[in-house]
């Protein structure tokens, strides 16, 4: 029972509480650069999730063999292997998306989220937990990128996943698909995320205080 | 002059029987934020009147849109963050009016309102409200509009023109992209002074802006250091390049585009300009240099907006560099 709970928590923490984009602010380069549309966000997110999950599994399996002094270099070799797989697969299967994501697919090699999870989690936990953690983080990354890309696509192009959602009279705000729009949207998303969490924490604190007071009586 | 009520200041005062406590400053000029804001608004009226005369009453639509957007955002955000209402101090109204003055005469009122929302929301409120913003809010709104609607922001032809001449390219646009010899009259100094040329709503008539500037300097609202240094810088750098055979005469630089409007109404914003006079000189000269460089060597015909925003970003540095030495302290 309690083990099940921890696995659930391990998975869920990447989605919200320790969300790689909104809380850890890692992987900002692809987050800001490729999210000009929702579909780009999905593509980038899933590619990263695949690399993250496979790399976490491998690193967790190898964690007792890799000497501490060369661990970062070893992690990079493992990660680069999977990035190459993703890059070539996307070029063959989804050439259009591969073109629009450009250099950011090969750059997954140096994505901080992957290296961060490898260093902080996979190299210290068993393969099962490493996979669950990687999936949670990867899907949290994907969800954030898709939301960011969706907002920018709707406002900057009038479409969502390529489907026209805004009325025809709507004049797109071109700034939203320019780099400035990425910063503005991400900033506002972070603000809303923090506001929501503060409110949540305050409510939890009040509830705890009430419970303590009730116990005292 | 310990007068807690009626000075217009919002200083806290405590009264208890015969004991009467008021915090400093005790000698107060008696001017409130609201009074300054409404005086600047009054100083803008000549420009607005000239715009209505040249472009027709249609120009009031984008101006009203920008004001509604700015004031509405101020009201909503104060409500949402449970802060005291600051709509009454007139700063949001002024930001909206300033933004409305620097869009083309035929600009969509809805888009102008969006600019007002961005100016107050992203230009001011996110930093903590009036007095906390790094950048001039009206220019933040305009930069957003410029990047969002590049076609609408450079469309000078939709104006309801009373005079034929106003419905074509701006003088700077002619110099950059067109053939100036086709419309030599548009580049004449009288036209630039009177304002019957293409351009943003409030920026075309140099005479009206100068009148507003005289009001601001006479009432000591605006720092003359910034205005004079920016004009001197424009004349100096524009003149140097002109002597070297690049670009128009320095007088044309000063009177065309948004140079005067920026110098009088934008660069002199209290919040986003340097504190010391020395800093203000550096600030004004810097804006002038950036403007001339963008105009002559950049991809855009006009650069006052970006020049002022860039200089705004340098203000904390200027303030630190020009901090006066305390009397008696070692240099």
Most confident of A101-115, B4-18, B181-195: A101-115
d(CA A23, CA B134): 26
3-state SS class at A164: strand
Name chain B contacts of A199, Cβ cutoff 8 Å: none
The whole-angstrom distance between residue A138's C-alpha and the CA centroid of its chain comes to 5
Return the percentage of chain A with pLDDT > 70, whole number: 97
B81: nearest CA partner in chain A: A195
Higher pLDDT, A168 or B169: A168
Q: Which residues pair with B322 in a beta bridge?
A: none
List of chain A residues whose C-beta atoms are within 8 Å of the C-beta of residue B147: 174-175, 178, 180
CA distance A103 to A20: 21
Residues from chain A contacting residue B150 (CB–CB below 8 Å)? 174
Q: Using the beta-carbon criterion (under 8 Å), do B149 and A178 form an inter-chain contact?
A: no
CB-CB neighbours of B196 under 10 Å: 22
**Mean pLDDT, residues A172-193:** 92
Enter the ipTM.
Answer: 0.82
CB atoms within 10 A of CB B307: 27
Q: Which pLDDT score is estimated for B84?
A: 86
Lowest mean pLDDT among B133-147, B154-168, B193-207: B154-168
Does the CB of A1 have a partner CB in chain B at under 8 Å?
A: no
HEC sequence for chain B = CCCCCCCCCCCCEEEECCEEEECCCCCCCCCCHHHHHHHHHHHHHHHHHHHHHHHCHHHHHHHHHHHHHHHHHHHHHHHHCCCCCCHHHCHHHHHHHHHHHCCCCCCCHHHHHHHHHHHHHCCCHHHCCCCCCCCCHHHHHHHHHHHHCHHHHCCCCCCCCCCHHHHCCCHHHHHHHCCHHHCHHHHCHHHHHHCCCCCCCCCCCHHHHHHHHHHHHHCCCCCHHHHHHHHHHHHHHHHHHHHCCCCCCHHHHHHCCCHHHHHHHHCCCCCCCCCCHHHHHHHHHHHHHHHHHHHHHCCCCCCHHHHHHHHHHHHHHHHHHCCCCCCCCCC
> What pLDDT sits at residue B5?
41
Give chain A positions within 8 Å (CB) of B126: 187, 191
Which sign does the torsion angle of CA A47, A53, A56, A61 carry?
Answer: negative
The residues in B 132-161 lying below 8 A from A, measured between CB atoms, are 144, 147-150, 152
Closest partner CB to A174 (pick from B114, B126, B147)? B147
CA distance A193 to chain B (A): 15
What's the pLDDT at B266?
92
Q: Are B201 and B102 in contact (CB under 8 A)?
A: yes
| pLDDT tens string B246-286 | 888 888 888 888 899 999 999 999 889 999 999 999 999 99
Please indicate whether residue B282 or residue B161 has the higher confidence score (pLDDT).
B282
Question: Which of B51-60, B183-192, B268-277, B295-304 comes out lowest in average pLDDT?
Answer: B183-192
- CB interface of A with B, residues 31-60, below 8 Å: none
Residue A163, phi then psi, degrees to nearest 5: -100, 130
The answer on pLDDT for A187 being more than 50 is: yes
In this structure, are strands A163-164 and B13-16 parallel, antiparallel, or unpaired?
unpaired
Indicate yes or no: CB of B122 within 8 angstroms of CB of A180: no
CB contact under 8 A, B150 and A178: no
**Hey, what are B85's tokens?**
């209402």
Is pLDDT above 90 for A75?
yes
| Per-residue model confidence (pLDDT) at position B114 | 95
**B168 pLDDT exceeds 70?**
no
Mutate to test the interface with B, among A174, A185, A189 (most CBs of B within 10 A): A174
Predicted confidence (pLDDT) per residue in B82-121, tens digit: 888 888 888 999 999 999 999 998 889 999 999 999 999 9
Burial of residue A171 (CB within 10 Å: 0-12, 13-18, 19+) is: middle
* Residue pairs spanning A and B at CB distance below 8 A: 20
3-state secondary structure of A160: strand
Per-residue pLDDT band for B8 (boundaries 50, 70, 90) equals very low
- Kindly report the nearest CA distance between residue A174 and chain B, in angstroms: 4
Of B114, B122, B150, nearest to A184 by CB-CB distance is: B122
Flag whether pLDDT at B186 surpasses 80: no
Q: How far is CA B214 from CA B99, B218, B223, in A?
A: 21, 6, 11
CA A76 to each of CA A20, A80, B22: distance values in angstroms, whole numbers, following the listed order: 19, 6, 66
What's the whole-model pTM score? 0.85
- Please report, rounded to a whole number, the percentage of residues in chain A having pLDDT higher than 90: 56
pLDDT digits (tens, 9 = 90+) for A18-56: 888 998 999 898 899 999 999 999 999 999 999 999 999
Share of chain B above pLDDT 70, in %: 89
Domains of chain B: 1-30 (no CATH), 33-321 (1.10.3430)
A134, A52 in Cβ contact below 8 A? Answer: yes
Contact assessment for residue B114 and residue B69, using Cβ atoms and an 8 Å cutoff:
yes
- With cut-offs at 50, 70 and 90, classify the pLDDT of residue B166: very low
Mean pLDDT of chain B: 85
Q: What local confidence, expressed as pLDDT, does residue A5 receive?
A: 59
Question: Does the beta carbon of A135 lie under 8 angstroms from any beta carbon of chain B?
Answer: no
CB contact under 8 A, B126 and A174: no
Q: Are B131 and B117 in contact (CB under 8 A)?
A: no
Q: pLDDT-derived band of residue A1, with 50, 70 and 90 as boundaries?
A: very low
In contact, B155 and B104? CB cutoff 8 Å: yes
Three-state SS at A162: coil
Of B126, B148, B152, Cβ closest to residue A175: B148
Average pLDDT over every residue of B285-296: 93
Judge whether A77 is closer than 8 Å to chain B, CB to CB. Answer: no
B143 to chain A nearest CA, in Å? 10
Enter the tokens of residue B193: 């002074």
pLDDT in tens, B299-323: 888 889 999 999 999 999 999 999 8
């Amino acid at each position: 029972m309690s083990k099940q709970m921890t696995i659930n928590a391990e998975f869920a923490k990447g989605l919200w509480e320790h969300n790689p984009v909104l809380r850890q602010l890692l992987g900002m380069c692809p987050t800001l650069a490729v999210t000009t549309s929702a579909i780009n966000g999905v593509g980038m997110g899933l590619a990263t999730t695949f690399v993250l999950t496979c790399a976490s599994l491998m690193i967790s399996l190898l964690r007792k063999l890799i000497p501490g002094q060369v661990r970062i270099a070893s992690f990079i070799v493992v990660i680069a292997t999977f990035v190459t797989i993703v890059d070539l697969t996307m070029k063959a299967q989804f050439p259009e998306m591969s073109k629009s994501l450009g250099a950011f697919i090969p750059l997954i090699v140096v994505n901080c989220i992957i290296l961060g999870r490898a260093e902080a989690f996979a190299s210290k936990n068993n393969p099962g937990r490493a996979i669950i953690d990687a999936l949670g983080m990867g899907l949290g990354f994907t969800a954030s990128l898709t939301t960011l890309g969706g907002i920018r696509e709707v406002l900057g192009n009038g479409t969502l996943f390529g489907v026209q959602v805004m009325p025809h009279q709507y004049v797109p705000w071109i700034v939203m698909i320019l780099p400035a729009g990425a910063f503005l949207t991400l900033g506002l998303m972070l603000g809303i995320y923090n506001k929501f969490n503060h409110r949540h924490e305050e409510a939890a604190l009040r509830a705890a205080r009430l419970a303590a007071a009730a116990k005292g009586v | 002059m310990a007068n807690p009520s009626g000075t217009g200041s919002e200083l806290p005062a405590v009264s208890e029987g015969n004991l009467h406590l008021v915090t400093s400053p005790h000698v107060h000029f008696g001017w409130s934020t609201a009074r300054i804001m409404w005086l600047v608004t009054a100083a803008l009226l000549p420009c607005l009147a000239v715009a209505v005369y040249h472009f027709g009453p249609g120009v009031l639509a984008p101006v009203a849109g920008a004001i509604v957007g700015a004031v509405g955002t101020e009201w909503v955000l104060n409500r949402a963050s449970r802060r005291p209402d600051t709509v009454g101090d007139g700063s949001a109204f002024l930001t909206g009016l300033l933004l409305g003055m620097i869009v083309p005469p035929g600009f969509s009122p809805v888009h102008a309102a969006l600019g007002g929302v961005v100016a107050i929301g992203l230009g001011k409120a996110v930093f903590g409200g009036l007095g906390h913003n790094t950048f001039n809010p009206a220019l933040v709104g305009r930069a957003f509009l410029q990047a969002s609607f590049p076609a609408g922001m450079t469309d000078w032809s939709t104006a309801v023109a009373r005079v034929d001449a106003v419905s074509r390219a701006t003088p700077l646009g002619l110099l950059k992209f067109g053939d100036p010899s086709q419309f030599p009259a548009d580049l004449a100094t009288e036209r630039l002074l009177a304002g019957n040329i293409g351009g943003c709503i409030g920026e075309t008539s140099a005479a009206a802006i100068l009148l507003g500037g005289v009001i601001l300097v006479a009432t000591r609202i605006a720092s003359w250091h910034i205005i004079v240094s920016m004009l001197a810088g424009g004349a100096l750098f524009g003149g140097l390049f002109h002597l070297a055979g690049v670009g128009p005469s320095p007088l044309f630089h000063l009177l065309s585009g948004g140079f005067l409007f920026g110098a009088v109404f934008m660069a002199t914003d209290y919040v986003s300009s340097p504190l010391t006079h020395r800093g203000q000189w550096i600030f004004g000269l810097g804006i002038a240099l950036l403007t001339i460089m963008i105009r002559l060597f950049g991809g855009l015909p006009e650069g006052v907006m970006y020049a002022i925003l860039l200089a705004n970003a340098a203000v904390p540095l200027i303030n630190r560099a020009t901090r006066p030495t305390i009397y008696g302290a070692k240099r």
